[in-house]
Chains A and B, each alone.
Chain A
Amino acid sequence: MALLEVIDVTQRFGGLQALSCFDMIVEEREIVGLIGPNGAGKTTVFNLVSGFYTPTTGEIRFRGKSTRGMKPNQVTALGLARTFQNIRLWNDMTVLDNVRMARYHWLGYGLLDAILRTRRYAQAEKAVEAKARHVLEIMELEDCATELPKNLPYGLQRRVELARALTVEPSLLLLDEPAAGLNSADVDGLIRQIRWIHENFDVAIWMIEHQMKVVMTLCQRLTVIDFGSIIASGTPVEVQKNPKVIAAYLGEERL
């Protein structure tokens, strides 16, 4: 069974058809990419998969289970995590707290435990703390654990967001333009980090990315959309040669 199946999904916002008949399958432990010109509907796909939108028609299945009617936090509980195109961190919480919060669904204690400081509370918090520190260490962020994200440089903020998503221990990680706004040294670091994550975690990665260097080196398969429809899919090399893709999107970039 595939990890994620997006089957014939169409999304309309009033009269606007943002996405039509979109199909996609992501297998366990794959790295795949979604590319397309601005406004093609890429982020709409991610918003549908992560449960922010309910598809107008069609079906999204995570490990065979339909996510229709689920709220984003319920989809996350199934093992999906994502980052955002425009960074969405909690800016008045420390980096450590940001990462800790990703374990919210699995805390396993409630209001009374928190107030009475029961043993269950103590154990859960200890486990969450250890987990968060571990991820910060992996992501080379342990030095800024007590900083507020808003005081960090942009590249680090992106890394914190990635760390937070990893703390969910997802089986599918959606990255929405992870390299946006990074300089070329940071991009190389990001590529190394994503590869490392892929090798060391049991996780499939689906990314939207404009920087061809990132998708070409990392992705095993690419899907290209334009005006809400798939215009090509295949290996990076195949896609690169596809005349439709060149016309729609890659033309100016001359890969």
Chain B
Amino acid sequence: MQRNALTVLLALVCIALVAAAQYRLLDSYLLTVLMFMGINIVFATSLNLVNGYMGEFSCGHGGFMCVGAYVGSILSVALFSGNKLMGPALLSPALAPLLFPLVLLAAFAVSALCGLLVALPSFRTRDDYLAIITIAANYIIISVVENIDAIGGPRGFSGMKRTVLAMEDVVDIPWMLVWVIVVTIVCVIIQRRLMSSTYGRGICAVCQNEVAAEIMGVDTNRVKLMAFMLSSGLAGVAGVLYAHVYGYVNAQAFNILKSTEGLVMVYLGGMGSLSGVILAAIAFTLLVEGLRFAIPALNDLLHAVQLMPASYEISQVWKWVLLPLLLVLLMQFRPEGFLGNKELTDVFPRLKRWMRSGSGEADGRGAS
């Protein structure tokens, strides 16, 4: 009963959000923030598979998001809207809402393949060395994309807004919000189900004692491949959503800073805690957006009380001081993150009992 209640509640919230967007009750800024929350959840939880559950240290997750964003954007423009370079749309724009999941799947597949290439060195290397390899992979991906002129090179790539408009021509609903909600929920369900299966727990076994995992029959190389591929594939899907929400992609948006954002969210939430990382992704998005207002406010305040020389303005650049500082403080005072490697239901046993007292077996949606 309660178990279903939670699902129903989640569904109602989602429907309410879509309805609010549909009837223009949410301004477009709030809407964008909401969508970025979802995208950040997908991005951060996918990184958590590798950095949290598997205990490896991947620092180049932004690279996979970049691959997904470009693959998804190119497909979407080539199939549904067309541009000068690619000529007219290959398919009728009316098919856009139906075939968009295929674009997501294709981006997933290509990003997962890139993840495969990074997984191979992880068979022999761990820790610092693997971190360096993944940073290198991040840079390689960005350089490659920037040097392909056909997809805009350093100028970036646009035209995805037309695909979104094409979807809205067919049925007039806020499509991107719908896609973000659907993908976020699917992504969370996938990871929750995976990590509660014995098959998926193999990832934790590799993390906690690789020798024991090998001797107990776990094919550690295969587990690493699977985790890396799933992780980078999901990051790619987050990239597609990002590109379509913005309507524009540029490789530099996925540089080491993006990867660092992912790391901050994972370490903020707690490595190996799905619900923790979801909470952290939400908190992080709110924090980043909050700083957009807080910094000018602080600037005005300090000028008003004349603590700051009039010649100096605190600009948004300070965001990139404050966010890394957050990471430093976190490592100092709570290195295990919000929830450590526990889930919300472990921290609040009553929540678990409340959910269990419903339909028995707990599965499906994330706790948050």
Contact = CB atoms under 8 A, between A and B. Distances in A.
Contacts of A103: 198, 217
Interface string A84-107: 100011111100010011111111
Nearest to B196: A114
A103 B363 CA distance: 22
B219 to A, nearest CB: 5
A104 B218 contact: yes
Main secondary structure of the interface of B (DSSP, over half): helix
Interface residues of B, number: 29
A209 B190 CA distance: 46
B225 to A, nearest CB: 11
Contacts of B215: 50, 52, 72-73, 76, 81-82, 84, 88
A164 B194 contact: no
Given A89-B209, A114-B194, A102 B199 contact: no
Contacts of A50: 215
A34 to B, nearest CB: 18
Contacts of B208: 90-93
Contacts of B341: 92
Contacts of A88: 209, 211-212, 215
B126 interface: no
B218 A73 contact: yes
A72 B220 CA distance: 10
Contacts of B150: none
A88 B218 CA distance: 14
Contacts of B197: 114, 121, 125
A129 to B, nearest CB: 9
Interface string B252-263: 000000000000
Interface in B194-209: 194, 197-202, 204-205, 208-209
A76 B205 CA distance: 16
B18 interface: no
Given A111-B194, A111-B226, A104 B216 contact: yes
A54 B202 CA distance: 25
Contacts of B272: 92
A168 B212 CA distance: 13
Interface string B213-240: 1111111100000100010000000000
B193 A114 contact: yes
A121 B198 CA distance: 10
B205 A90 contact: yes
A104 B230 CA distance: 19
A238 B341 CA distance: 54
A117 interface: yes
A110 interface: yes
Nearest to B217: A105
A249 interface: no
Interface in B162-220: 189-190, 193-194, 197-202, 204-205, 208-209, 211-220
Contact of B216 (A71, A114, A164): A164
Contacts of B216: 73, 76, 81, 101-102, 104, 164, 168
A76 B208 CA distance: 19
A89 to B, nearest CB: 7
A115 interface: yes
B219 A73 contact: yes
B212 A89 contact: yes
Nearest to A129: B198
A103 B205 CA distance: 13
Contacts of B363: 117
A109 interface: yes
A224 to B, nearest CB: 25
Interface string B6-28: 00000000000000000000000
A136 interface: no
A154 B145 CA distance: 55
A77 interface: yes
13 contacts: A73-B217, A76-B216, A82-B215, A84-B211, A88-B211, A91-B208, A92-B208, A101-B198, A103-B217, A104-B198, A104-B217, A168-B216, A168-B217
Closest 3 CB pairs of A and B: A105-B217, A88-B212, A114-B197
Given A73-B220, A101-B201, A104-B217, 17 more contacts: A50-B215, A76-B216, A81-B216, A84-B211, A88-B209, A90-B205, A92-B341, A100-B201, A101-B218, A102-B216, A103-B217, A105-B219, A111-B194, A114-B194, A115-B193, A115-B194, A168-B216
